[in-house]
Each structure stands twice: as structure tokens, then as C-alpha cells.
Amino acid sequence: MVIILEQNTVKIRLDKTKVQFPFDTVGIDIGQSLTKVAYWKDNEIVLSMSQIGSNFSEIEEFLNLNKNRLNKVNFSGGKAFILYKKYSNAFETSLINEFEANIKGLEFLYENIKNRSLPHSLVVTLGTGTSIVSNKEKIEHLGGSAMGGGFFMGLLDLIFNSAIT
């Protein structure tokens, strides 16, 4: 499996999970500022993040290089529909609600890393479509703000006087 940007990759090791992950599936969240690609490799969840914006060439290169290894691509995020539509004939594709994906991901990490259920929580995500989810039984998007990922990356750039890539 190809990694989009090695320096912006997080790996979460899961040796004791009972979940059988499909090795031929990838998740791609295409936001306004950041694009995240997640897949399973060698008992690890690999999460790669990059500032792609409207240029999808890196994602398309990733999908094209891995077309013989991938069967399913799950898309989410504000710009996901473009690539979902483009690749729906090449792969089995799904368009997933990003708020539901956030909660399912948190539940999975709690159950497989902390060995307990996700407690009742107020989940706030920061992106260029900041969201607040208040109830995991009924996922409800309470609102949002455009002051998200792009804003915070720009603010960090100003504070630390260096480009964040």
C-alpha cells in the first residue's frame, strides 16, 4: 500500500483486536482543508493526512497505484462526492456521513485500545466544517463554523512562523 505523505502519517498498533479488517479497503475523508486516508496494514491502522485542497491528483495517484490491491473505497467529507462518483465503476464505493464516521471511529478506538465503551460525550470536531455531536445513539449535527482546519493551520503558521505541511 502506498502512503501519500510519509511525514504526515500516524500509525495505531492493534495487536489484540478481535476485528478482522479487510486489507483491500481504504477510507478517504476529503475535507475543505485536509484530506485523510486510512487503511489497515500489518496490525496497524495507518492514517495519512495532507493539504490537498481541490487538487485530487495525489489521491488519484494513490488509487491508481493501488487499483489491483483495493476492492472497496469508503469516501466521506465535503468534497468526497467528486471522487466517489469518478471511482464508482473502478471500485466498490460508499459515501459515508462524516459525523457518523467520527463517532464509529471513536467507539472503535475506545473498545480496542481502552477496552471499554465510549462514555456519553460531547464530541467536537475541528475542520472547515466544525461540528458538534452530542449523542452517540442519535447522531445530531448541532451546528458548525467555518473557523476550522484551514483557520487553525494558518494560525499555527503565524504563531510559529513556519509553514505547516
| Integer Cα distance of 143 and 131 in angstroms | 6
Contacts 24+ apart (CB under 8 A), 138-147: 139/97, 139/99, 139/100, 139/103, 141/99
Cβ-defined contacts of 6-9 (< 8 Å, 24+): 7/165, 8/48, 8/49, 8/50, 8/165, 9/46, 9/47, 9/48, 9/49
Per-residue pLDDT of the chain (165 residues; tens, 9 = 90+): 544 555 578 888 887 777 777 889 999 999 877 888 999 888 888 888 887 767 788 889 889 988 898 999 999 988 899 999 999 999 999 999 888 888 888 888 888 888 898 888 777 776 666 666 666 666 666 666 666 666 777 777 788 876 555
Q: Answer whether 66's CB lies under 8 Å from 113's CB.
A: no
Q: Which residues are annotated as catalytic?
A: 98
In the chain the domains, ranked by start, together with CATH numbers, are 1-96 (3.30.420.40), 97-160 (no CATH)
